[in-house]
Amino acid sequence: MVRAAIERVDSFDGVLIAHKEAGWTSHDVVAKLRKLLGESKVGHAGTLDPSATGVLPILVGRATRIAEYLIDWDKEYRAVLRIGETTDTQDASGQVLIKTDPCRVNEEAIHAVVAKFRGPQRQLPPMYSAVKIGGQPLYKAARAGKTIDRVERSVTIHELEVLKVEGCDVTLRVVCSKGTYVRTLCADIGQALGVGGHLYALERRRVGPLSIDEALTIDQIASHLAMDTLRSRFLSLDQLLSQLPAVVVNAEQAQRVVHGNSISPAGIGELPALPHPMSVRLKNEEGQLLAIGTHDTPGMGLIKIRKVFSLVTH
């Protein structure tokens, strides 16, 4: 009989939903948790600026190998746009360049302008960003007083609504595609209003299915660790990859899969009718995630193995 065994046993393995607090960089959170958990393989998916708060997915152990499958997730933010002030960084950390009296902008005008920013948009990456041009991050050039030519990027604002208007501050709910700069969105809205604006505060409420309601601060993570209850707060690789179609393989095929060998779709049931090429989860008959594969051609061809997570032994 064939049985499955995990390739390597980590004390912790999966994704932890961290609640990043203001003042911490994303790297700070990773470094702290690496020390706290005693794990060498710790990373994150989706950087947050130091002043921003909210959901930061922390990848531990084998989960560091699936970051590429998480980065396409949409994100939800609660942002505060301060109108009437334009800064060099497009957020509150920068120097105010222009001040304009925002009193002539009423709430009706704000709602009308905000509505124009829903759907597909073109954004120019801000100079104070980690985007690399010529191998150098833009923020380094910005700090040196240089402005680099940049190319606009396509992003999608899936949902955008005004939650509250208090004086110069407009609280927005933003659901957007990967690669969206919320501070650029705020600056663009301010410009469209004719008074300028910048991102005053930002909280990330959700990354894909990972919600702030399930997020833990560093102190809460430490408390769970001390009480030996932290393991239950991790999401497994299979849970995180649930958006990929699952293909169940038999014992013989499982042996091929875990050694990185391609398998034929024949005999493993009908594959989902999705665009090709498509990534699939390969699981054994006991339901254990073995690998991720790519199926290139509908109705024929092989499933090529891309990442193996488990070994199968006799």
| pLDDT 10s digits, 277-301 | 788 999 999 999 999 998 876 555 6
Task: Please name the residue ranges forming H helices in the chain.
Answer: 26-37, 67-70, 107-115, 138-143, 182-193, 218-226, 237-240, 251-258
68: number of Cβ within 10 Å? 12
The one-letter code for the residue type at 136 is Q
C-alpha torsion sign, points 31, 36, 38, 39: negative
Which positions are annotated as active-site residues? 49
Average pLDDT over the chain reads 87
pTM of the model: 0.86
pLDDT in tens, 114-123: 999 999 999 9
Query: Alpha-carbon distance 20 to 47, whole Å?
Result: 10
Domains and CATH numbers, the chain: 3-72+210-238 (3.30.2350.10), 75-207 (3.30.2350.10), 244-313 (2.30.130.10)
Query: The tokens 């050039």 sit on which residue?
Result: 141
Cα 149 from Cα 313, distance rounded (Å): 55
Say if strands 210-211 and 246-248 run parallel, antiparallel, or are unpaired: unpaired
